[in-house]
Amino acid sequence: MVRRLLLWCEMLIVAAFLFALPLSATDSLPDFSRPMSEFYAALPDDIRQSLPEGLLTPDGPDAEKLVQALQPDEWLMWVREWLYAGLPGAGQLLGKIVLLCILSTLICRLAESFGRSKMISAVQILTALFVALALLQEEQHMLETVSMCLQRLGVTVDALLAVLGLLFATGGNPAVAASGCGGLMALFAGLENLFAALMIPLLAATLGVAVPASLPIGRRLCGVLAAIKRMVAFLLGFSGVLFSAVFGLQTVLAAGADSVASRTVKFAVGNAVPVIGGVMGDTVRTVGAGLEYLKDTVGILGVLLTLLLVLPPILQILLHRAVLLLGQSVAELLECPAEMKLMREFSTVCGWLLALVCACAAAFIFALVLFVQISVSIALV
């Protein structure tokens, strides 16, 4: 009884949304050029330039170009271009690390021929500081890149969700538009705030503390470093739980709203709306199919844009991590313990940065795929 009452209440709310929409018996799609142009304007310039020419049309993304852009050959070409762009910098950093390790070992071994003294540890600290400076500057750049990537992802996601929400609302699914877009926006706002306000500063603090903790004079800071690392690990785990919870809730809400909305539209078309009830028939199906097609292309474009936004930072971090791992091996080979520890800590931070970007991208792609899977109600009529 209570369930039926709740169902009726839901149907009433959705019907109120439906009556508020400008519905009319037409076999053409409503004009989406304005929201589309607003969405295109929200895209970062470099991302827009890297998309194939003619993909972004005023009526929505061109499906043929979209399929072409998703070809593995295209992606391999992009990945190769990004890697080629990042390789000189990575090579120079690796060269610097190797050279500094060699110099450190050379000076220490030469000095050791006159017997061990504290002068040697002073030289070791000096070379470790040089390596630390080079790595810190690079890591700062990485943090800025990741922070900017999350920010840009947030802006693109908001613009994309606005278009998808409008499509669902026009298609007769205002509840899906409200619950789905609301859920996704909440998820992204939560993740973005968690990462921007907590994770990035914590990672920056880890880098700051890792420098003295790696030196022979700062061994006592290892405890502080371990505490910060535990905190970061906890927050990463917490963000995973938050993501799962919001994602699950959004799935339930969207599925429920979809079912209620489709029944409401059937009811409205059949009985309650006299103007469209008898006239719409096949034309409504045509509009629904058009909306479905547009929604799918916008959804795929969303996935494509997410990949384009997150792949360069991911490749950059992977390249930097590879440099750190190679440098670590060289430092181990040349018996430079301070440099080795420094690179190990920085490599851990790189791993966390990678996890942040991947978590954000995966959250959005999964949610978007789920969102696109939900049909617009008109198509179900």
> Which residues contribute to the site for other proteins (CB under 8 A)?
92, 95-96, 99-100, 103-104, 106-107, 110-111, 114-115, 117-120, 122-123, 125-127, 129-130, 132-134, 136-137, 140, 143, 200-201, 204-205, 207-208, 211
Structure tokens at 79: 């990945």
The strand pairing partners of 57, in sequence order, are 60
Note whether 78 and 50 are within 8 A (CB).
yes
Please enumerate in sequence order all residues whose Cβ is within 8 A of that of 230, keeping only pairs 6 or more positions apart, or say none: none
Of 110 and 358, the one with the shorter C-beta distance to other proteins is 110
In the bound complex, what is the minimum distance in angstroms from residue 264's beta carbon to other proteins? 49
User: For residues 25 and 111, which CB has a smaller minimum distance to other proteins in the complex?
Assistant: 111
* Rounded-to-integer distance, Cα 40 and Cα 363, Å: 22
Least distance from other proteins to the Cβ atom of residue 184, Å: 27
* Shortest reach from residue 96's CB to other proteins, in Å: 5
Q: How far is the CB of 90 from other proteins (least distance, A)?
A: 13
Minimum distance, C-beta of residue 127 to other proteins, in the bound complex (Å): 7
Between 22 and 115, name the residue whose CB sits nearer to other proteins: 115
CA–CA separation, 142 vs 207, rounded Å?
Answer: 12
Angle between helix 200-214 and helix 222-267 axes, rounded to 10 deg: 160
- Measured between alpha carbons, how far is residue 58 from residues 164, 169, 173, 259, 347 in Å? 15, 19, 23, 31, 45
Q: What are φ and ψ of residue 57, in 5° steps?
A: -105, 160
**Measured from the CB of residue 134, what is the shortest distance to other proteins in angstroms?**
8
Identity of the residue, 7 or 129, whose beta carbon is nearer to other proteins in the bound complex? 129
User: Which is closer to other proteins, CB of 131 or CB of 187?
Assistant: 131
What's the CA gap between 224 and 213, in Å, rounded? 9
Q: Give whichever of 110 and 275 is closer to other proteins, judged by the CB atom.
A: 110
